[in-house]
Amino acid sequence: MQHPARLVPLAFLALILAGTGLLMLPVATEDGRAAPVLTALFTAVSAVSVTGLVVVDTGTYWSGFGEAVVTALIQIGGFGIIMAGTLLGVLVLGRLRLRGRLLAQSENSSVRLGDVRTLVGQIALLTVVVEAATAVVLAFRFRIHYGYGAADAVWHGVFHSVASFNNAGFGLEADSLMGFVTDPVVTLTVSAAVIIGGIGFPVMVEALRNARRAARRGSGRGHARIAWSLHTRITAVMTGVLLAVGFAGYAVLEWRNPATLGPLGAGDKLLAAFVAGTQPRTAGFNNLDVSALTPETLLLTDALMFIGGGPAGTAGGIKVTTFALLAVVIWSEIRGEPDVAVFGRAIPAETQRQALTVALLGVAAVAMGTAVIMVDTGFGLDRVLFEAVSAFATVGLSTGITPDLPPASQIAVIILMFIGRVGTVAVAAALALRTRRRLYTFPEERPLVS
Amino acid sequence: MQHPARLVPLAFLALILAGTGLLMLPVATEDGRAAPVLTALFTAVSAVSVTGLVVVDTGTYWSGFGEAVVTALIQIGGFGIIMAGTLLGVLVLGRLRLRGRLLAQSENSSVRLGDVRTLVGQIALLTVVVEAATAVVLAFRFRIHYGYGAADAVWHGVFHSVASFNNAGFGLEADSLMGFVTDPVVTLTVSAAVIIGGIGFPVMVEALRNARRAARRGSGRGHARIAWSLHTRITAVMTGVLLAVGFAGYAVLEWRNPATLGPLGAGDKLLAAFVAGTQPRTAGFNNLDVSALTPETLLLTDALMFIGGGPAGTAGGIKVTTFALLAVVIWSEIRGEPDVAVFGRAIPAETQRQALTVALLGVAAVAMGTAVIMVDTGFGLDRVLFEAVSAFATVGLSTGITPDLPPASQIAVIILMFIGRVGTVAVAAALALRTRRRLYTFPEERPLVS
Ligand SMILES: [K+]
Ligand SMILES: [K+]
């Protein structure tokens, strides 16, 4: 218990157990009978890890109390994930710039308590502002355009805003956002909250700080230089590229699919393709019927989900920075560059190895989960791989097989969600905290590769 | 044209074009009509890359002349692959120990002509000895046990010995080795040639040298120390592990499958599972009906094929050393070791990056090939991924979709076979030959990972 970062998996576990207990209360279900332990556990893990995969329909199975518990688990889980990721960033980088150099790692390699308090406040502020704005827009839309009752409109607005900002993908309608596929107000508002939550706290803080500086400069009050960190530049570029790929991919591959985009007008097709393309990063709402997507769209979505969103946010996956670093390492290697650089900054060898470790452990986890579910169920690779990637990357998109999974496969999905969420943080924390020193060195020897 | 290693892709291309031309001659087909250019090209690429995927049945479509062309392409292709891989090893390592230090890289970073001559002789000797022994055993078995005519027995023995040692997976029977599934003589002889060819020339040379030393020491004539290189130790351990995994996997997953192991007795089941387990490394004969394998066996085989065999042999895939290095890098990273070591030897950072590059380019190639074929055909992911991995890793196992592929998908398979075979060698050669020197360095900056 040397270090707070070590507590992250334990804290998540405690939250999951508390959530499971609450969801097993008879008052948590619509019909007043206690939920089975596996159903409660699955739902709690899915909520805490902000995934959104479900074995029962959220809106009809759980009571108002049950839905409130799910909402709270999502909110606490999402907050914890941003907090853990950001603290880890401080540990890895030695410091994280938030307004000047507010957060710093002290000499004994822990984070100062005052810094943690500031961080909690800033994350809470960002969360409340984005969620409130989202909830207000959604509630008015539900009330005015769809004629929901006032209380219902507010509750649906709050629930979906929490689910969106935390990239949790839970919906109160059984068909997620499919009923709103042609509504730009609902789907674009949700998409915006998803993107802001998923791009990561460090990027948001830097963007806000630079916006403030630009405003100050614009009003002639200062001459602060607008500088973007390497982390923000990589995350922003990759997020833009992946959004474009998702948009183009869904539009091209589904344009004529009669079960998805086919029946829509051209404008609605473009809207629906854009919104669908934001979800693999890694929100998990679906405005289209996932089980009707073409196999090649599923494969594209597998790739987008696995890559995921930005670090230290509510998104899952191996993260866009990890993917970008690996691409740059390979590109440098092919060109025979002596070191790995991006945007004029060299990437330390430890960071390269860390990216490799996260990506390949992800591949291993998905492969093992897929194998277990295939052996257990006999479903085809298309759908099982999709569900495994969706669980590992805490996305929550589903071709519909999850409610039909036997217990062993449900447990495999639970484990994938847990290690997808906590595993990478735990591994990264271990890397940051426990660099062994050798008092001797080994002679080098090169085995042949390729 | 600075360096012979750069010529490798060009040499393969020339051989492929010559083979395509010969196979398009009317005399090459059984019915005397010229084969279509795509059929001839596909067959030539499959033979030269020692893959074994076919769009037409080798035994019935091609004439005796056509089969001889295929045999020659396999033999020349396999020899070229061993040669290119070994030369690359010399370039990468600066030297390769064959009897003392026979092969050395000279000062101007090319290999001495005398060394190349010695190498050609040694590879030819190993090839001839192993193929002759295999052919003799098989020919006698076909003649005596199966009652083939004398000429037919010899021709089948020679063809299958060439295909085995070169891991080419071509067969003269339409059902490959399925007719011999319970025959230990045929299947174990083929498996032995496959393993010897696929483990790589450097390992074989070292094993022979150390066997000679051990014999000398045993007879009291010398005190030479038996030392194994890191390369040989990694390759041997990984090959053993993967053979065991393949054996156990096929036995467990197919034991009760009525279309594969199910109908066999227990002993035959074990024999068939062992032989089937050797083929993904990367021979491509099938003693079981691949299209009847369970989806989970296909997935396991995907993984085994992708990893492949030893470098500088006739096997494909990313190679067992590449896989082992990545595993060790990750393990070291998780444990927080300051450097990456295996068997008491440190692995240089360039070698780690090289392994990463080869593996991830492989993933990218397979993913793109799979996507193209899925968009083009509508086959499911199970079978398309299997075919794409089989092509990239030059394995030749098939669920049977290859003959049904439309032209665009056939071309995708051709490209996968070509880059699977030549791409890694070309990339590795580029790495070895073209390390740029920077006259300046970039400041370091760490983006967040995970
Ligand atoms: K999610
Ligand atoms: K092969």
Q: At A105, is the pLDDT very low, low, confident or very high (cuts 50, 70, 90)?
A: very low
| pLDDT for position A223 | 57
**Which residues, chain by chain, have CB under 5 Å from ion ligand 2?**
B 51-52, 167, 169, 284, 395-396
Instruction: Flag if A351 and B318 touch (Cβ within 8 Å).
Output: no
pLDDT at A411 over 90: yes
Among candidates A300, A335, A444 on the partner chain, residue whose Cβ is nearest the Cβ of B346: A444
Q: Which residues on chain A are in Cβ contact (under 8 Å) with B321?
A: 447-449
Among candidates B325, B371, B375 on the partner chain, residue whose Cβ is nearest the Cβ of A447: B325
Q: Which residues on chain A are in Cβ contact (under 8 Å) with B238?
A: none
Q: CA–CA distance from A180 to each of A50, A185, A336, B254, B432 (Å)?
A: 22, 9, 50, 47, 56
Q: Can you tell me the distance from the alpha carbon of A81 to that of B182, in angstroms, rounded to the nearest whole number?
A: 56
Helix/strand/coil (H/E/C) assignment for every residue in A192-231? HHHHHHHHCHHHHHHHHHHHHHHHHHHCCCCCCCCCCCHH
Instruction: Flag if B450 and A347 touch (Cβ within 8 Å).
Output: no
| pLDDT for position A428 | 64
CA of A390 to the centre of ligand 1 (A): 8
Quick one: which ligand is closest to A46's CA?
1
Choose among A80, A82, A71, A72: nearest CA to A160.
A71
Structure tokens at B336: 């927080």
In eight-state DSSP terms, residue B316 is -
Question: Nearest-CA distance from B424 to chain A in Å?
Answer: 6
| pLDDT for position A1 | 37
Across A218-241, average pLDDT = 79
Residues recorded for chain A: 450
Question: Nearest-CA distance from B256 to chain A in Å?
Answer: 13
Residue range(s) defining the domain that contains residue B158: 4-220+228-433
For residue B346, the surrounding DSSP H or E stretch is strand B345-346
Q: How would you class A111 by CB atoms within 10 Å of its CB: exposed for 0-12, middle for 13-18, buried for 19 or more?
A: buried
Instruction: Flag if B92 and A235 touch (Cβ within 8 Å).
Output: no
| pLDDT for position B100 | 38
Q: Can you tell me the distance from the alpha carbon of B283 to that of B188, in angstroms, rounded to the nearest whole number?
A: 13
Q: Which residues on chain A are in Cβ contact (under 8 Å) with B360?
A: 326, 330
| pLDDT for position A445 | 65
Tell me whether residue B440 is in a domain. no
Residue of A nearest to B439 (CA): A338
Tell me whether residue A444 is in a domain. no
- pLDDT, one tens digit per residue, over A190-202 is 999 999 999 988 8
pLDDT at A106 over 50: no
Quick one: which ligand is closest to B50's CA?
2
Domain count along chain B:
1
Q: Which residues on chain A are in Cβ contact (under 8 Å) with B399?
A: none
In eight-state DSSP terms, residue B62 is B
Quick one: which ligand is closest to B169's CA?
2
**In sequence order, which residues have a C-beta less than 8 Å from that of residue A121 and are 6 or more positions away?**
none
Q: What is the CA radius of gyration of chain B?
A: 22
Q: Which residues on chain B are in Cβ contact (under 8 Å) with A92?
A: 446, 448
Reported ipTM: the value is 0.80
pLDDT at A370 over 80: yes
Phi, psi of A146 (to 5 degrees): -105, -5
Q: Can you tell me the distance from the alpha carbon of B253 to that of B53, in angstroms, rounded to the nearest whole number?
A: 24
CB A283 within 8 A of CB A169: yes
DSSP assignment of B380-407, as one string? Answer: -HHHHHHHHHHHHTT-----S-GGG--H
Residues with pLDDT less than 70, chain B = 1-6, 91-114, 219-225, 425, 427-450
pLDDT at A134 over 70: yes
CB B29 within 8 A of CB B56: no
For residue B123, the surrounding DSSP H or E stretch is helix B113-140
| pLDDT for position A367 | 92
Q: Which residues on chain A are in Cβ contact (under 8 Å) with B444?
A: 345-348
Q: At A306, is the pLDDT very low, low, confident or very high (cuts 50, 70, 90)?
A: very high
Tell me whether residue A292 is in a domain. yes
- pLDDT, one tens digit per residue, over B257-300 is 999 999 999 999 999 999 999 998 888 888 899 999 998 899 99
Instruction: Flag if A444 and B347 touch (Cβ within 8 Å).
Output: yes
Q: Can you tell me the distance from the alpha carbon of B155 to that of B139, in angstroms, rounded to the nearest whole number?
A: 8
| pLDDT for position B370 | 93
Start-to-end CA distance of chain B, whole Å, equals 43
Q: At A301, is the pLDDT very low, low, confident or very high (cuts 50, 70, 90)?
A: very high
Parallel, antiparallel, or unpaired: how do β-strands A103-104 and A95-96 relate?
antiparallel
Tell me whether residue B444 is in a domain. no
Tell me whether residue B51 is in a domain. yes
Question: Nearest-CA distance from B384 to chain A in Å?
Answer: 10
CA of B186 to the centre of ligand 2 (A): 18
Q: Which residues on chain B are in Cβ contact (under 8 Å) with A340?
A: 353
Tell me whether residue A439 is in a domain. no
- pLDDT, one tens digit per residue, over A4-45 is 556 778 888 999 999 999 999 999 999 989 999 999 999 999
Question: Nearest-CA distance from A60 to chain B in Å?
Answer: 34
Q: Can you tell me the distance from the alpha carbon of A38 to that of A57, in angstroms, rounded to the nearest whole number?
A: 15
Burial A328-354 (b: 16+ CB within 10 A, else e): bbbebbeeebebbbbeebbbebbbbbb
CB A153 within 8 A of CB A109: no
CA of B394 to the centre of ligand 2 (A): 5
Structure tokens at A77: 């889980």
Instruction: Flag if B357 and A334 touch (Cβ within 8 Å).
Output: yes
Question: Nearest-CA distance from B342 to chain A in Å?
Answer: 9
CB A185 within 8 A of CB A296: no
Question: Nearest-CA distance from A331 to chain B in Å?
Answer: 8
Tell me whether residue B311 is in a domain. yes
Q: Which residues on chain B are in Cβ contact (under 8 Å) with A369?
A: none
CB A96 within 8 A of CB A103: yes
Q: Can you tell me the distance from the alpha carbon of A233 to that of A113, in angstroms, rounded to the nearest whole number?
A: 29
| pLDDT for position A18 | 94
Structure tokens at B413: 């398979």
Provide the sign of the torsion angle of the four alpha carbons B360, B366, B368, B370, taken in this order. Answer: negative
Instruction: Flag if A89 and B339 touch (Cβ within 8 Å).
Output: no
Tell me whether residue A222 is in a domain. no
| pLDDT for position B85 | 83
| pLDDT for position B53 | 93
Written as one letter, the residue type at A225 is: R
Q: Which residues on chain A are in Cβ contact (under 8 Å) with B229?
A: 445
CA of A50 to the centre of ligand 1 (A): 5
CA A350 to chain centre: 24
Q: Can you tell me the distance from the alpha carbon of B300 to that of B247, in angstroms, rounded to the nearest whole number?
A: 11
Cβ neighbours of A99 (radius 10 Å):
12
Torsion of CA B294, B297, B298, B304, to 10 degrees: -170
Among candidates B347, B371, B450 on the partner chain, residue whose Cβ is nearest the Cβ of A428: B450
User: How much is the mean pLDDT over chain A?
Assistant: 85
Residues recorded for chain B: 450
Among candidates B322, B338, B345 on the partner chain, residue whose Cβ is nearest the Cβ of A443: B345
Question: Nearest-CA distance from A169 to chain B in Å?
Answer: 20
Quick one: which ligand is closest to B279's CA?
2
CA of B59 to the centre of ligand 2 (A): 17
Instruction: Flag if A298 and B349 touch (Cβ within 8 Å).
Output: no
Q: Percentage of chain A surpassing pLDDT 70?
A: 86
| pLDDT for position A393 | 93
CA of B122 to the centre of ligand 2 (A): 23
Phi, psi of A148 (to 5 degrees): -65, 155
Q: Which residues on chain A are in Cβ contact (under 8 Å) with B92?
A: 446, 448
Instruction: Flag if A448 and B319 touch (Cβ within 8 Å).
Output: yes
Choose among A125, A242, A249, A142: nearest CA to A195.
A242
**In sequence order, which residues have a C-beta less than 8 Å from that of residue A153 and are 6 or more positions away?**
A139, A140, A142, A143, A146
| pLDDT for position A103 | 45
